[in-house]
Amino acid sequence: MKTIKDFNFKNQKAIVRVDFNVPLDADFNVTDDNRIVAAKPTIEKITNDGGIAILMSHLGRPKNGPEDKFSLKHIVSKVEEVLGKKVTFVSDSVGAEVEAVVANAQPGDVILLENLRFYAEEEKGDENYAKQLANLGDVYVNDAFGTAHRAHASTTIVAQFFPENKCFGFLLAKEIESIDKVLNSSEKPVTAVLGGSKVSSKITIIENILDKIDHMIIGGGMTFTFIKALGGNIGNSIVEDDKLDLALEIIEKAKAKNVQIHLPIDMIIADRFSNDANTQIVNVNEIPDGWQGLDVGPKTLESLKPVIAESKIILWNGPLGVFELEKFSQGTISLGNFIAEATANGTFSLVGGGDSVAAVKQFGLEPKMSYVSTGGGAMLEMLEGKTLPGIAAILK
């Protein structure tokens, strides 16, 4: 696997695919700069070597060419603040203006191109557009894990113009290594925590990881599809009635592979979906009609604590309850604290998938995890066993 460590960028122009698709408020201020911070080591390696870093990214989903609200000009000051140096912004991604700026750049300079998706050719994976991007650099660096599952011009097609001079940036290399650590670890036990509302959205992940894990903790809304399949009463809890047989199949497959499934034992139930709801704690398979399960109960947490503590590798993908409502956040917070404690004791913990990432950030747990993935969809596809086009293009 060729990474940025294998290159010296002295007097080289590096065209770098970063993921600066960051959230902006109504005044175009960046509200979360994590993705920019994550790309900093790669950019610094290039400039510290005496190379020129030409950054390219998309922002949002522009539909018909250039739209001011999706212009990367809005993030220039934040990128400068993170990098601690001047960034030259170009109001296009290809063409004469861009070529002139690149030609005049000095070693150590950072150039940011305009939103790639202002060109329909980017998402179409157009070869001619990719070639124009490629002509700007001597080396291609992909450091955008969040878009590695898309075969776009800047993530995949451009790489073919750099048969030898292409590599992964630090961030993308770290993502690949972290997922590899979960899927191919010789250390045991390996535990996967899978939450979220639907079994159907996790089925391909479950099928791919069953051979690789020892424990599977199931939480969130998908709990109730399993509980109902096993004959329990789930009241008005969320359920996928057409997936009951699938839930039983998963239980059987896990048994055959000696994977221990941990379903909640008790539940905090509510008479409505609200912080002001009436609540009670009941056995998970005894939820009365008119009530719904919104978080795991204390007995469940007690049973999970030793499983987490003894794990050598943990994948956390999905919360245990409706953590967005304070009243039902304790299960997810407690699980996060268990994982943080295990991590402090030498366990490798990987957090990925939108809701789990949002939870660790919200509850200040992010620094206590071994690695928090920057790419929701891309990570899920890797866990499903798929080869991502953006990664394959570098490995070719």
- List, as residue ranges, the binding site for (2R)-3-phosphoglycerate: 35, 117, 150
Known catalytic residue at 198: yes
Please give the single-letter amino acid code of residue 126: D
Q: Which of 2, 131, 253, 377 is catalytic?
A: 377
Torsion angle of C-alpha atoms 350, 356, 357, 360, degrees rounded to 10 = -90
Q: Which of 40, 181, 327, 354 is catalytic?
A: 354
143 Cβ contact partners less than 8 Å away, ≥ 6 residues apart: 4, 16, 17, 18, 19, 39, 42, 168, 169, 170, 171, 172
User: Angle at Cα 103 formed by Cα 98 and Cα 106, nearest 5°?
Assistant: 115
Known catalytic residue at 377: yes
Buried b (16+ CB within 10 A) or exposed e, 67-79: eeebbbebbeebb
Nearest by Cα to 125 from 89, 107, 152, 158 = 152
- Annotated binding residues, written as ranges, equal 19-21, 35, 58-61, 117, 150, 202, 293, 324, 353-356
Known catalytic residue at 235: no
What value does the CA radius of gyration of the chain take, rounded to a whole number of Å? Answer: 23
Compute the distance between CA of residue 314 and CA of residue 193 in angstroms, rounded to an integer: 8
Q: In the structure encoding, which two tokens stand for residue 369, read together?
A: 């995890």
Known catalytic residue at 174: no
Beta-bridged to residue 112, according to DSSP, are 55, 89
Parallel, antiparallel or unpaired: strands 371-372 and 348-351: parallel
Beta-bridged to residue 233, according to DSSP, are 286
Omega before 189 within 30 of 0, i.e. cis: yes
Q: In the structure encoding, which two tokens stand for residue 10, read together?
A: 């002295």
Nearest by Cα to 118 from 73, 58, 69, 159 = 58
- Annotated binding residues for substrate, written as ranges, equal 19-21, 35, 58-61, 117, 150
- Annotated binding residues for ATP, written as ranges, equal 202, 293, 324, 353-356
Q: What share of the chain is helix, strand, coil (3-state, %, to 5)?
A: 45, 15, 40
CA distances from 292 to 20, 170, 288 (A): 39, 44, 8
Beta-bridged to residue 234, according to DSSP, are 287
Q: Which of 40, 73, 131, 198 is catalytic?
A: 198
Q: Which of 35, 45, 166, 228 is catalytic?
A: 35
CB-side exposure of 295: number of CA atoms within 13 Å? 27
**3-class DSSP state of 265:** coil
Instruction: Walk across the sheet containing 13-17 and list its strands.
Output: 88-89, 110-112, 52-56, 13-17, 139-142, 166-168
Residues with active-site annotation? 35, 198, 354, 377
